[in-house]
Amino acid sequence: MTSKTAAGQAEVLARNSLGLAHIVFFVVAAAAPLTAVVGATPVAFAFGNGPGVAGAFLLAGVMYLLFSVGFTAMSRHVRGAGAFYTYIVQGLGRPVGVGAAMIILLAYNAVQLGIYALFGVFVAAALEPLGIDLPWWVYSIAGIAIVTALGRRNIAFSGRVLGLCLVAEVLILLLLGVGILLRGGGPEGLSLDVFAPSTVFTAGLGATLVFVIGSYIGFEATAIFAEEAKEPRRTIPRATYAAVGLITVFYAFSTWAIAQYYGPSQVAAAAQSGLEEFYFTASADILGPWSVPTMSILLIVSLFACVLSFHNTISRYFFALGREGVLASALSRVHPLHRSPHVAGLAQSGLVGSVLLIMALAGLDPYGVIFSWMSVITVLGVLTVQALVSLAVIQFFRTLPAGERPGAFAALFAPALSVLCLGGAVGLVISNIEFLSGTESPIVQTFPVLIAVVGIGGALFANWLRSNRPVLYARLGRALEQ
């Protein structure tokens, strides 16, 4: 059975294009390992639970493994490019699903804005010593153009590009971690004490988790490419567990290693004395001076891989909602050769590029405002929708005949624990919102309200469809089934 647009024209993406490795690349690339480790964890070391950062990554990994149990169990019953939206529609109903779709679109477009701004800043800084002095936003727009062109190609092409980027940025951090290990650590040697509960569960754990959980953003990519995956019933669950496991182990190892380099008792003070040089100092010492410019270049590569991954994800959301009739049906058109959602990709890039230019012309600081503020919206929005997905899993399996349900752990206990954990994470982000955004601006304080208003607006729109376009409403969450 093929999905159809509101106009009745069949529009499907490129089948059997993505294998397990491609999908894992999309997820891990969206997590931007080098950016997350070098850019975010120094703040967690400095103002969070210090040496317990590595243990916080293990906690987050356990939370997302719990999420994955129900998520992957339901993935065997749901297939389509709508991912979280489709899950929530089939579990909690169409109004909640459309509301969640609006939240996730807001969140993912926000992260695109923030990362593109950061990309422009890093490229401008790298080219300035060469005598090239252009505004940061020029490089951001150039990045949008390149990402759009790549996203227009067959999805497997983007997967290969992401694979190359990912290998490069992971390799430099692995070299640093292994180098610290071979040297025997730093002034306090090597130990696993940073994983001890007394080290992890300290007063700064909540602040640390705000940054740690943000490192897992992009998790949805495993399911959103189901329509293009080879053997999706097997590939999606395997890719989900592989991605969560790789992200958790890699981040935990990298942060454990840097804590050993400075010494667990001194790592917080070292981070506080120089956030930007925290990893670069260690890299120059362990690997040599060559590693500092190399790591700087790979940071740009990491940011580029991140925006490419999110571009493909958001494009498929636009495509799915266009195919269902929630958004303009033109968004559901696929490229005749590459079978990619090229119209949705152009729309997504046009939206982000226009907003970014308005922000730049308004003189907003690309790092202190655009990146920081958009990060808050992203983390809040994604955590909220993930909690709704876990609720949807519980409700979905309640409606199935007993013989079609998985075991009680996958159908109830794991997703219920996930709801509690994700709900707690939302509370942590809200309580640490000034710390995460770096400002006490009253605008930032309204972001939780913004998330709620967007979600409620989407639900009200779905109810309007029920009254005014009942045929279209009846198809929501169904037109994506293959």
pLDDT, one tens digit per residue, over 283-332 is 999 999 999 888 888 888 888 878 887 888 788 778 877 877 777 777 77
Mean pLDDT, range 185-198, rounded to an integer? 90
- The pLDDT-based confidence of 160 (bands split at 50, 70, 90) is low
Sign of CA dihedral 101, 102, 107, 113: positive
Angle at Cα 61 formed by Cα 39 and Cα 218, nearest 5°?
A: 60
Helix axes 278-286, 291-324, angle to 10 degrees: 130
For residue 202, the 8-state DSSP code is S
Contacting residues for 427 by C-beta, under 8 A, at least 6 apart: none
Contacting residues for 437 by C-beta, under 8 A, at least 6 apart: 372, 373, 375, 376, 444
For residue 226, the 8-state DSSP code is G
pLDDT in tens, 242-258: 888 888 999 999 999 99
> Is pLDDT of 456 > 60?
yes
Token pair for 249: 């182990």
Q: What is the pLDDT of residue 387?
A: 94
**Are 87 and 391 in contact, with CB atoms under 8 Å apart?**
no
> Could you count the other beta carbons within 10 Å of the beta carbon of residue 25?
27
Q: What is the pLDDT of residue 9?
A: 43
- Residues 98, 103, 104, 107: what is their CA dihedral angle, to the nearest 10 degrees? 160
- The pLDDT-based confidence of 80 (bands split at 50, 70, 90) is low
Mean pLDDT, range 342-359, rounded to an integer? 89
For residue 478, the 8-state DSSP code is T
**Are 34 and 165 in contact, with CB atoms under 8 Å apart?**
no
- What residue type is 309 in one-letter code? S
- The pLDDT-based confidence of 3 (bands split at 50, 70, 90) is very low
The residue assigned the tokens 């969140």 is 107
Q: What is the pLDDT of residue 7?
A: 39
**Are 311 and 349 in contact, with CB atoms under 8 Å apart?**
yes
Token pair for 25: 């690349």
Token pair for 412: 């109830």
pLDDT in tens, 9-37: 445 545 555 666 767 766 676 667 888 88
> Is pLDDT of 217 > 90?
no
**Are 151 and 254 in contact, with CB atoms under 8 Å apart?**
no
> Is pLDDT of 480 > 50?
no
- What residue type is 367 in one-letter code? Y
Mean pLDDT, range 246-272, rounded to an integer? 92
- The pLDDT-based confidence of 418 (bands split at 50, 70, 90) is very high
**Are 335 and 99 in contact, with CB atoms under 8 Å apart?**
no
pTM for the structure as a whole:
0.83
